Structure formats: C-alpha cells, structure tokens
Structure 1
Amino acid sequence: MRTRPASIMRDLGLRAALPRAKVRTTFPADDLDDGPDLVRRDFTADAPGAKWARGTRPNSVGGSPTYIRTWAGFVYLATVLDCCTTKVFGYAPVDHMRTEVVCEATGMAARNYKPTRRVTVFHSDRDHQYTSQAFADHLKSYGTRPSVGPTGVCWDKHVGGVSGRDAQE
C-alpha cells in the first residue's frame, strides 16, 4: 500500500493542479515628475464628486486596474470611487492595460458626477496608466486636479474605507 500523496494520486490517475502564472499589472511610469499628494491619505469628502480615487481590487488592496481571468483571456477593469459615498461611479472593462482604460473609467465618472473645475481631485497611485501625460491631459479636460500618493505607502490603497467585501457590494 502506497502512502505518499504523489503515489496515491498516480494510482488514481490524478494530477496536481499547477499554480497559474502571475500577471504583473503595476508598472511605474519612467518619466514621472513629482506630482502633488493633495489627499494625504484623507479619503473623506464633504460632498459627492469632490474627491475621486481609483478603485481597489475586490478581495485585495491593489491599485492597478483589476484583471479578471476568463476562458478567452483576461479582462481588465478600472474603477473610480467617490470618496464621500465610497461608491463606484465610473468603470471600464477592456482587454488591455493601456491608459485608455483609466480614461474611459474617469470619463464615465465625469458623466455621472459633474466635476467642479479646479476643485475635484482624482487621487491614484503611481502606476503608468495614472501618471501618463495622456491621463493628465484627460483630467485637465474636465478641470480635475491630479493627485498621486507617495511611493510604497500601502495606506493609499485603502480608499475611503472600501476594501474586499465592501468593494463587491
């Protein structure tokens, strides 16, 4: 009688499942200048639409657009949260990780909550999608001020008290 798991599995015709390949979604921008941190980890707001932040991944505290494995490959989902209501009010599911995904999500957010010129702040981490010139120009077109958190600060990834279970509701 065999007692090692590998032997037992072989006798039963079973094979161990191999871990899935990791998908890297965080790439810092090469040409990033020192953007202001207008939020300073205060993810509260007095009124809806005054302070926006990029959404967090369900069941984790990441900052990049969420990647969702499907039978056909990956779908990337960028979300925008309102710091007052902690609700998602802008999102974009796409098949790539380019800057357009966060532009689409913030475009939807701007249609749902009209940003107040030179008042509304959009806060993000330093991923390349959020620190690109194209995204800066996109925010400028709405009169929204960009804000980036300091490098390596995990508290910036816990936006407005939304994490894990709350983000899925």
Structure 2
Amino acid sequence: MPNLLNRQFNQPELNTHWCSDITYIRTVKGWSYLATILDLANKEIVGYATSESADTGLVINALASSISTCKPDMNKLIFHSDQGTQYKSRELRTYLKNRGIT
C-alpha cells in the first residue's frame, strides 16, 4: 500500500487522518493487547480496544469505537498504520473499503 501520509503528522482538520498501533501489556492474568486510534490533528486518542489476542478483530473494534465516538466523514478519512499483519489483513482491508476509508 502506498504511504499517503508521507510523514505529514501535523494535520489541520479533525477526523481526516487517523493512525493506529498495537501494544502489549503484561498483567497478572497474562498478556493483554491494546489497539489505539490517534487523530493526527489534535494528537488525541479517539478510540481503543483491548483483547487477549493481537488479531485483526482488535483493530476493527478500536476503529468501530472511534467511528462511533467521532462520526467522521469516512470518504475523507485516511487510516495510517505500520502495516503489521493485523493492518494488512484481508479482513481489515475489507472493513475499510466497505466504509469508504482510505
């Protein structure tokens, strides 16, 4: 996938450029995974999800949370990630395409 963001991390308009990453957290019950969605305009977390596995569903849940909260014009939204396996999955690409998210 082409890098449409091209390191332009300062965006002037809310809900047009979101980026995401997954991190893992050790807990007393084992590992937990956290996916966050960051709006590049104000650098605030607009959505997140946690799970016991770092799969594509984790990212989709974080995106769904963000969309529900922010209600962006999805035809104007660019979603950026490190293109790890969860982000390159067919399931996530289909989710984005069906909603008009680039």
Are 1:115 and 1:144, in contact at CA under 8 Å, matched by a contact in 2?
no
Match of 2:50 among 93, 96, 103: 93
How far, CA to CA, are the matches of 2:66 and 2:74 in structure 1? 14
How far, CA to CA, are the matches of 1:91 and 1:117 in structure 2? 18
Unaligned runs of 5+ residues in structure 1 are: 1-34, 56-64, 146-169
Secondary structure of 1:118's partner? helix
Provide the TM-score with structure 1 as the length reference.
Answer: 0.58
Match of 1:130 among 73, 79, 87: 87
Q: Deviations over 1:39-71 (max 9, x none)?
A: 00001222110100014xxxxxxxxx1111011
Match of 1:82 among 33, 39, 48: 39
Q: Which residue of 1 aligns with 2:61?
A: 104
Q: Which residue of 2 aligns with 1:43?
A: 9
Q: Deviations over 1:108-166 (max 9, x none)?
A: 11111222233110001120000111001111232110xxxxxxxxxxxxxxxxxxxxx
Q: CA deviation at 1:97?
A: 1.1
Q: Which residue of 2 aligns with 1:71?
A: 28
% identical aligned pairs: 34
Q: Which has the larger radius of gyration?
A: 1
How far, CA to CA, are the matches of 1:41 and 1:79 in structure 2? 19
The verdict on how the C-alpha distance between 1:117 and 1:93 changes in structure 2, with shifts beyond 3 A counting, is: closer
Flag the structure with higher strand content.
Answer: 2
How far, CA to CA, are the matches of 1:123 and 1:67 in structure 2? 19
Secondary structure of 1:42's partner? coil
Q: Deviations over 1:10-57 (max 9, x none)?
A: xxxxxxxxxxxxxxxxxxxxxxxxx121100001222110100014xx
Are 1:54 and 1:123, in contact at CA under 8 Å, matched by a contact in 2?
yes
Count how many residue pairs are aligned between Structure 1 and Structure 2: 102
Q: Which residue of 2 aligns with 1:58?
A: none
1:128 maps to amino acid: T
Match of 1:121 among 62, 69, 78: 78
Q: CA RMSD in A?
A: 1.1
